[in-house]
Amino acid sequence: MQPAAISISRLTVRYGPTTALDAADLDVPDGQVHALLGENGAGKSTIVKALSGLVRPDLGTIAIFGRKIVRFAPRFANDLGIRTAFQEISLVKSLTVAQNFMLMEEPLNALGMIRGRALEDIVRERLERLGLNSIDPRIEVRQLDLPSRQKIEIARAVSRNPRILLLDEPTASLSNRDVQWVGDVIERLKRSGTTVLLISHRMQEVREFCSALTIFRNGRTVGAYAMTDLADTEIIELMIGRSLGAAFPPKRDRVESVGTAAPPVLSCQKLAPVPGSDISFSVRPGEVLGLAGLDGMGQRELFMALFGAIQITAGEIRIAGQPVRLRSPADAIACGIGMLPEDRKTEALFLNLDARENVSLPSLHRFLRGGLIRARLEQKMVSGVLDAVKVARRALWTPVRNFSGGNQQKIAVAKWLLTDSRVLLLYDPTRGIDVGTKTEIYYLMRRYADAGGAVLFYSTEIPELVNLCDQVVVIYRGRIVETLAADAISESAIMSAAVGRQRINGAHEQHALAQR
C-alpha cells in the first residue's frame, strides 16, 4: 500500500510551560486536499511549522511519504518537496517581488553575480502562469497591499513544484475574486497529484476545496473525517468543545439603539482621503455602521484618514458636531477615536511586549505621576479590560507573540476599551481568527455600541455586515454609492452596489462590471 504523504504520530511540542501540541496525530493520503481545522491556539500552525522544519518536536514522529524525518530545518523540508505559504507572511518587505520569489535560487552569471534581468523575466513568466499578470516583479514588497503580498506568498510556494503544499489561512485577507483564484490553484495542483494541507476558518472554502478534514482542539487531535460526514455546526462544536449557540448577537431596533434625535458622534462631509474620492456619512452613538466594498475601493485610505495616519486632500471630519483636523493618530486618540487596523501584527501590536504594555500604551498618561508609571494602577486597569475581552491573566506578563491570532486581536481591542474611546474603527477585525473568537468579537462590538459607543465596521465577509450592522454604506471607486438600513440590508443588495450597479427607478443597472 502506498504510504501517506504526511503521517504524524504522538507529536508533542512545548514552548516553555505552554504545550502547543499534545500527542497529536495526523494522516494525509498522497494527492488529497485535506483541511486542518481548530480554534486559534489549537496547534494548527505548530503542525505547519514542524512540517516546514521551523520547529523541532519534543516527542513523536513525522514521516513524509514513508520517510521518517530526523533532522528539522527548512532546507531538509525543502528537499522533501514541502512548500509553505504562511499566514504571517514570510516575504522580505525591502526586497522586490522577483528577489523574494527567487531567494536562494537566483540565476548567476559566470562570475557568480545575480543576473537581475533574467531573474525578473523568470518571475514575470511564473506570475503570468498563475494569472498574476498585474503584479510587477520589479516593485518592492513594502509597496504592495496585504492581499497582493498574500497572493505572492502563495504563488512563490506553488511555483517551486511542491509535492506537499501547506497553506496556512491563505484566503484570510483576500477578496471573493481572489479566493476563487486560490481555489483554481488548488484544483490545478490536485489534478497534478500534489498533496495540499489547508488551514482555514471559512467553512464554505473548506467544503469547496477539500475532501477530508482533521479537527484539533487544545493541541490534541479530536478526529479525522470525510467532508461529507459532518455538518458545519457539528464541525464547529468539535472545534470548540461546546455548543456554539447564536453566532451573531440580536440586533436592537434602530430607533431604540440609536434614536432619531441623537447627534452623530462621527461625521464626514465630502471627505477625500485620496484625490478624486468623495465620502459622506455619519455614525451615531449606539450604532454599528457597516462599510462594504471590493478590495481597493478606498476603504483602507478612509480608515487611515479617520485615524490621522494619512492627511485628507479635501472635505471635513466632525466629532460630536465639531470640525477636527487629525494630523496624527495622537490627534485621533485625543478625540476619542480608536482603530483596529488591517494587520494586527505590524500595525496594532508590539509583539515582543506583554499585553499590559500593549494595552496601556494609548492611555499611559492616566498612569503617570511625577513622570513615573503607577504600576499597580496600570495592572489593575489592564486586568479589567482583559477580563472583559476574555483573555487569560497570564497575558499581563507574557509577550503578545506567544498568543494565538484570536487572542492577539482581542488584546488589540482591549486597549481601546481602556481609553474609553467613543468611536471604534474596525477594519476587517475577524480576519484569520476562528469561529469561536469571531463570535466573541461580534458580542464585544454590540456591547460597545449598546453602551453608547459608535462603530464603523469594514468586513470582507458580507454575512457579518448583514447580521451585525444597523446601517451599511457601500463604497465604490472612492464614493459612497448606496446606503442600506433595516430589511434593505442583504447580501445581494450589498454585492450589487459593490460591483458598480446603480439603482434607477427601483431597478438596478450594471455599469461597471467590466472594470471590477
| 166-220 pLDDT per residue, tens | 999 888 878 778 889 999 999 999 999 999 999 988 888 899 999 999 999 989 9
* pLDDT over 60 at 244, yes or no: no
What's the average model confidence in pLDDT over 476-488? 91
3-state secondary structure of 214: strand
What's the average model confidence in pLDDT over 131-155? 90
φ/ψ (deg, to 5) at 482: -155, 140
pLDDT per residue over 73-84, tens digit each?
988 998 999 999
Report residue 87's pLDDT band, with 50, 70 and 90 as the boundaries. Answer: confident
Selecting from 3.40.800.10, 3.40.50.300, 3.30.70.2470, 1.20.120.1200, what CATH number does the domain 254-336+421-515 have? 3.40.50.300
Report residue 67's pLDDT band, with 50, 70 and 90 as the boundaries. Answer: very high
Question: How high is the pLDDT of residue 514?
Answer: 34
What residue ranges of the chain are covered by domains with CATH 3.40.50.300? 6-240, 254-336+421-515
pLDDT per residue over 257-308, tens digit each?
555 567 899 999 999 998 888 999 999 999 999 999 988 889 999 999 999 9
pLDDT per residue over 318-332, tens digit each?
999 999 999 999 999
Rounded to whole angstroms, how far apart are CA atoms 66 and 52?
17
What's the average model confidence in pLDDT over 386-392? 91
The answer to whether 268 and 317 are in contact (CB under 8 A) is yes
- Give the three cell numbers for residue 17: 510551560
Report residue 106's pLDDT band, with 50, 70 and 90 as the boundaries. Answer: low
The answer to whether 227 and 212 are in contact (CB under 8 A) is yes
Question: How high is the pLDDT of residue 304?
Answer: 95
- Give the three cell numbers for residue 221: 487531535
Q: To which CATH superfamily is domain 6-240 assigned?
A: P-loop containing nucleotide triphosphate hydrolases (3.40.50.300)
Lowest mean pLDDT among 253-257, 275-279, 480-484: 253-257
Rounded to whole angstroms, how far apart are CA atoms 472 and 484?
5
What's the average model confidence in pLDDT over 397-415? 89
**CA of 333: how far to CAs of 300, 385, 419, 424, in Å?**
18, 18, 8, 10
What's the average model confidence in pLDDT over 94-110? 75
Question: How high is the pLDDT of residue 110?
Answer: 54
